[in-house]
């Protein structure tokens, strides 16, 4: 089992100009590790991070899109796996932090925890690549190659909470980050 913050720090060290869509706890931590106008916070409609990520990947094929999702969130929108696989965006990597609970709203257990495999579901849905990690050393060893692959790619991260980070609600619900994101998302060479 890996600490979520350790996994996110490993990704933050590798970030260049990717669009990063994050949910709840990951969004709070990602803001600390990798602040950027290209951070898109997907909260308020649990389960839609992967759908938002797909839209961004299709709309901006020139940029890599990372989705930092949770297992509870993904369970609320499992059909997204088939939709993403059908669209087959080469620039999308879908990370799912699997901790077996709906952490943001009381750490209630997700249904069926331990009886199914998210990476297996993504593979069967038609994702080009699917991986699962429970050891940080293996994740650190393999992640550079995974980030270079054509997608769609799915990565399950078996995690547990790490250190506590500020829960910046004005950041995740406020207009300023959305305005920054909107401005940063505009293509540098817009079509005429």
The residue ranking higher by pLDDT, 106 or 173, is 173
Question: Dihedrals φ, ψ of 41, to 5°?
Answer: -95, 120
Helix (H) or strand (E) holding 65: strand 65-70
| Distances in whole angstroms, Cα of residue 24 to Cα of each of 82, 102, 118, 140 | 24, 10, 19, 24
Alpha helices in 35-174 (DSSP H): 49-59, 71-75, 79-87, 118-125, 136-148, 169-173
Quote the Cα angle for 120-29-82, to 5°.
25
The residue ranking higher by pLDDT, 25 or 79, is 79
Q: List the chain domain ranges.
A: 6-60+73-105+119-133+156-185
From the list 15, 16, 12, 19, the residue with the least C-alpha distance to 33 is 12
The residue ranking higher by pLDDT, 95 or 187, is 95
Q: How confident is the model over 35-92, as pLDDT tens digits?
A: 999 999 887 667 899 999 999 999 999 999 999 999 888 988 999 999 999 999 999 9
Residue 169's pLDDT band (cuts 50, 70, 90): confident
* Structure tokens, 98: 């699997």
- Say which range, 38-42, 80-84, 165-169, 183-187, has the weakest mean pLDDT: 165-169
Alpha helices in 3-101 (DSSP H): 4-12, 24-33, 49-59, 71-75, 79-87
Residue 192's pLDDT band (cuts 50, 70, 90): very low
Q: How confident is the model over 114-128, as pLDDT tens digits?
A: 788 999 999 999 999
Statement: the pTM of the whole predicted model exceeds 0.85? yes
The residue ranking higher by pLDDT, 29 or 107, is 29
Tell me, rounded to whole angstroms, the distance of Cα 131 from its chain centroid.
Answer: 14
Strands 19-22 and 65-70: parallel
Separation of alpha carbons 48 and 54, rounded Å: 10
Alpha-carbon torsion (47, 128, 130, 116), positive or negative? positive
Question: Dihedrals φ, ψ of 111, to 5°?
Answer: -70, 140
SS3 46: coil
């Amino acid at each position: 089992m890996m600490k979520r913050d350790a996994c996110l720090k490993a990704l933050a060290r590798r970030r260049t100009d990717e669009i990063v869509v994050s949910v709840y706890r990951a969004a709070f931590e990602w803001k600390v590790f990798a602040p950027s106008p290209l951070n898109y916070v997907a909260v308020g409609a649990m389960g839609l991070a992967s759908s938002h990520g797909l839209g961004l990947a299709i709309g901006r094929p020139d940029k890599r899109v990372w989705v930092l999702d949770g297992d509870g969130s993904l369970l609320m929108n499992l059909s997204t796996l088939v939709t993403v696989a059908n669209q087959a965006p080469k620039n999308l990597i879908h990370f799912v932090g699997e901790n077996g609970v709906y952490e943001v709203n009381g750490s209630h257990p997700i249904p069926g925890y331990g009886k199914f495999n998210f990476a297996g579901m993504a593979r069967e849905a038609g994702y080009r690549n699917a991986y699962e990690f429970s050891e940080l050393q293996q994740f650190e060893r393999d992640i550079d190659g995974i980030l270079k692959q054509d997608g769609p790619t799915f990565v399950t991260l078996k995690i547990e909470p790490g250190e506590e980070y500020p829960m910046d609600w004005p950041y995740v619900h406020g207009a300023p980050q959305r305005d920054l994101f909107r401005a940063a998302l505009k293509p540098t060479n817009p079509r005429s």
